[in-house]
């Protein structure tokens, strides 16, 4: 089944007389004929549904669709992208462990890794993507459990060298986790380049309409968790009568542990209605991503020619530092552009205030064009040093190109530039 077809049909196949559209199962609980059946599910939640904190038919259909799109063995939805990031790490890390990440990632992830995980006893070691293989390997400690990167960094738009970092991670005996939010499986499938776990904020392109907040973790099913570094997946889990996830569930050990253990304890599972809305977005994802990319490339070329713009960052431009990596990993570069206006932060603020079509909002990857100032908004919590490491300038604007006619988007840009 081709990708466009999976967007429409994967995850839910109606039987004779059933609804054509994925139904909303708005129920927290499920009925069984005997107490023994319910008890069996508490022993092993994969045997059935008992409570919508673990699973729900509507949500699980969407999970199956996303797993199919990414090429994974299983997926678990969460109530936000942040929840997906957190659980993807906590599923294999505990106090006393460390992780490696690049600084060119979403500001919320930096805050999570640098502040919150530190409080939980997990250290984050940052290594720049420009580092040599030897420098990256030297950053590993005996307690390092994973490497984390973003396919297309938010908002620096650096393209992550997935294959290179996957090879290094595997040589050091740990998995590579990739945040594939901006690329989506339409533009890049990280598992094909060696990634082991893929996460998304589904609130962005997958939704596309700004109507639900969510996240997802997808398991590639190929990493060997029995290499001695991940006892939580191998040794008996006392909370489930001594079950070993690797022995019992094989290549789905990681994603099933995440559901049985972490979702049980954290309870950040999305509502059926949220999953229904997400599914509507997924159905048009392939069509939308193509138009986002076409519009964005046209806008990026215009910005590159504008004398009021100091720098344009868009991996689809031949002049971009990440163009070669984009050509290797991506079939398109999303609808997000970062550019620096001459005059710094004051000029950036004035320009944004004069936009009429583009919305000034804390969002990205919508069907409607929107704009944001990372240094004072999404990445406001970062220090000056962290902003530099993340590739964020005070005059940088993140411009998320929507699906309007591109001529109207260009006209809005031109009239705003004319007033500064």
User: What's the CATH code of the domain at 310?
Assistant: 3.90.1150.10
Same domain, 163 and 45: yes
Query: What is the pLDDT tens value at each position of the chain, 420 positions in all?
Result: 999 999 999 999 999 999 999 999 999 999 999 999 999 888 888 889 989 998 999 999 999 999 999 999 999 999 999 999 999 999 999 999 999 999 999 989 999 999 999 999 999 999 999 999 999 999 999 999 999 999 999 988 999 999 999 999 999 999 999 999 999 999 999 999 999 999 999 999 999 999 999 999 999 999 999 999 999 999 999 988 899 999 999 999 999 999 999 999 999 999 999 999 999 999 999 999 999 999 999 999 999 999 999 999 999 999 999 999 999 999 999 999 999 999 988 899 899 999 999 999 999 999 999 999 887 766 666 677 777 776 778 788 999 999 999 999 999 999 999 998
* Mode of pairing for the β-strands spanning 144-150 and 123-126: unpaired
Q: Is the pTM higher than 0.85?
A: yes
Number of domains in the chain: 2
Angstrom distance (rounded) from CA 420 to CA 416: 7
Same domain, 127 and 261: yes
**Bridge pairing between strands 215-219 and 197-201:** antiparallel
What is the domain extent for residue 379? 287-417
Same domain, 251 and 342: no
> Among 229, 263, 280, where does a domain finish?
280
CA dihedral 319, 322, 324, 328 (to 10 degrees): -140
Other C-beta atoms within 10 Å of 48: how many? 13
Residue 96 burial (C-beta neighbours within 10 Å; 0-12, 13-18, 19+)? exposed
Q: Which of 225, 260, 280 is the last residue of a domain?
A: 280
Of 260, 280, 300, the domain-final residue: 280
318 and 413 fall within a common domain: yes
Tokens of 223: 């990493």
How many angstroms separate the CA atoms of 246 and 234, rounded? 5
Q: How many CB atoms lie within 10 A of CB 367?
A: 19
Q: Are residues 300 and 215 both part of a single domain?
A: no
Q: Are residues 107 and 15 in the same domain?
A: yes
Q: Give the domain CATH number at 258.
A: 3.40.640.10
């Amino acid at each position: 089944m081709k990708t466009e077809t999976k967007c429409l049909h994967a995850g839910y196949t109606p039987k004779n007389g059933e609804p054509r559209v994925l139904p909303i199962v708005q129920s927290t609980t499920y009925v069984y004929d005997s107490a023994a059946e319910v008890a069996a599910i508490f022993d092993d939640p994969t045997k059935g549904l008992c409570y919508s904190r673990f699973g729900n038919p509507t949500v699980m259909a969407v999970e199956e669709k996303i797993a199919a799109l990414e090429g994974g063995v299983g997926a678990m939805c969460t109530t936000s992208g942040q929840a997906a990031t957190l659980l993807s790490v906590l599923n294999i890390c505990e106090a006393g462990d460390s992780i490696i990440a690049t600084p060119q990632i979403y500001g919320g992830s930096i805050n999570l890794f640098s502040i919150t995980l530190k409080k939980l006893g997990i250290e984050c070691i940052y290594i720049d993507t420009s580092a040599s293989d030897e420098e990256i390997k030297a950053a590993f400690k005996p307690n390092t459990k994973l490497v984390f990167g973003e396919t297309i960094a938010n908002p620096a738009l650096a393209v992550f060298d997935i294959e290179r970092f996957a090879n290094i991670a595997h040589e050091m005996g740990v998995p590579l986790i990739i945040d594939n939010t901006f690329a989506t499986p339409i533009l890049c499938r990280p598992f094909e380049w060696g990634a082991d776990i893929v996460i998304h904020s589904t609130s962005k392109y997958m939704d596309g309409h700004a109507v639900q907040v969510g996240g997802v973790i997808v398991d590639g099913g190929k990493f060997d968790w029995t290499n001695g570094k991940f006892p939580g997946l191998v040794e008996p889990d006392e909370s489930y009568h001594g079950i070993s996830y690797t022995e019992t569930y094989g290549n789905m050990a990681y994603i099933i542990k995440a559901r049985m253990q972490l979702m049980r304890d954290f309870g950040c599972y999305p509502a059926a209605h949220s999953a229904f809305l997400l599914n509507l977005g997924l159905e048009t994802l392939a069509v939308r991503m193509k138009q986002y990319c076409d519009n964005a490339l046209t806008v990026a070329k215009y910005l590159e020619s504008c004398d009021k713009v100091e720098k344009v960052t868009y991996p689809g431009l031949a002049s971009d530092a990440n163009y070669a990596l984009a050509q290797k990993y991506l079939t398109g570069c999303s609808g997000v552009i970062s550019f620096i206006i001459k005059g710094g932060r004051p000029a950036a603020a004035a320009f944004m205030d004069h936009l009429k079509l583009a919305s000034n909002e804390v969002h990205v990857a919508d069907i409607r064009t929107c704009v944001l100032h990372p240094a004072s908004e999404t990445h406001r919590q970062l220090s000056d040093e962290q902003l530099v490491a993340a590739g964020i300038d005070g005059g940088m604007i993140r411009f998320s190109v929507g699906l309007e006619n591109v001529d109207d988007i260009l006209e809005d840009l031109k009239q705003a530039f004319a007033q500064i």
